[in-house]
Amino acid sequence: MKSLRFALLGAALAGVLAAAASADTPTTITIKMVAQNNSGENGTATLTQVADGVRVAVKLDGAPTDVPQPTHIHVGNCGHINKAPEYPLANTVNGAGLATVKGVQLADLLKGTYAINVHKSTTDLATYVSCGNITAPAM
Ligand SMILES: [Cu+2]
């Protein structure tokens, strides 16, 4: 009986520690998006924890006019990303894109190795024009 009580205490303690850890996770972060392949498309992406997932707002300067640029979250770091998109986002058009990735926690994105990647166009996916690593801002 005693060991069961200790097990329950341990489980409760683990729950408290997990809650404390998640309290440290920011609810919104802004990361830098860096131009690739001489696109000139530099900017930011802001990731915000919302009730049903993570909202991602991409803003890029120097984007081409009225060209939908496919945008995804990929596993990996910029320059070394997995080619297959992990989570699709809305196309970035005229330097702006807004999407919510449903059922995802910002904390989990930060724990993993992920990057937001913008492709040149729907017909030139192989050319990457902007990328940002999803990392917590330095304290
Ligand atoms: Cu992609």
Cβ burial 60-77 (10 Å sphere, 16+ → b, else e): beebbeebebbbbbbbbe
**Each residue's pLDDT tens digit, 9-39:** 445 544 444 444 455 667 999 999 999 999 9
Integer angstrom CA distances of residue 99 from 8, 19, 26, 62, 111: 41, 27, 19, 21, 21
Q: Which fold has domain 26-133?
A: Immunoglobulin-like (2.60.40)
DSSP string, 28-46: EEEEEEEE-TT----EEEE
pLDDT of res. 133: 98
- What are the structure tokens assigned to 131, written together? 């990328």
Rounded to the nearest angstrom, the distance between the alpha carbon of 50 and the centre of ligand 1 is 23
Rounded to the nearest angstrom, the distance between the alpha carbon of 65 and the centre of ligand 1 is 20
Rounded to the nearest angstrom, the distance between the alpha carbon of 113 and the centre of ligand 1 is 15
Q: What are phi and psi of 18, to 5 degrees?
A: -65, -40
Cβ partners under 8 Å of residue 60, min gap 6: 33, 41, 42, 43, 92, 95, 96, 118, 130
Rounded to the nearest angstrom, the distance between the alpha carbon of 82 and the centre of ligand 1 is 9
Q: Which residue has the tokens 């724990």?
A: 111
Alpha helices in 45-127 (DSSP H): 106-111
Rounded to the nearest angstrom, the distance between the alpha carbon of 27 and the centre of ligand 1 is 24
Rounded to the nearest angstrom, the distance between the alpha carbon of 79 and the centre of ligand 1 is 12
Cβ burial 43-56 (10 Å sphere, 16+ → b, else e): bebebbbeeebbbb
Single out the residue of 73, 62, 71 nearest to residue 119, CA to CA.
71
pLDDT of res. 22: 53
Domain ranges of the chain: 26-133
Rounded to the nearest angstrom, the distance between the alpha carbon of 81 and the centre of ligand 1 is 9
Rounded to the nearest angstrom, the distance between the alpha carbon of 110 and the centre of ligand 1 is 18
pLDDT profile of the chain (139 residues), mean per 10? 50 46 75 98 98 97 98 98 97 98 97 98 98 88
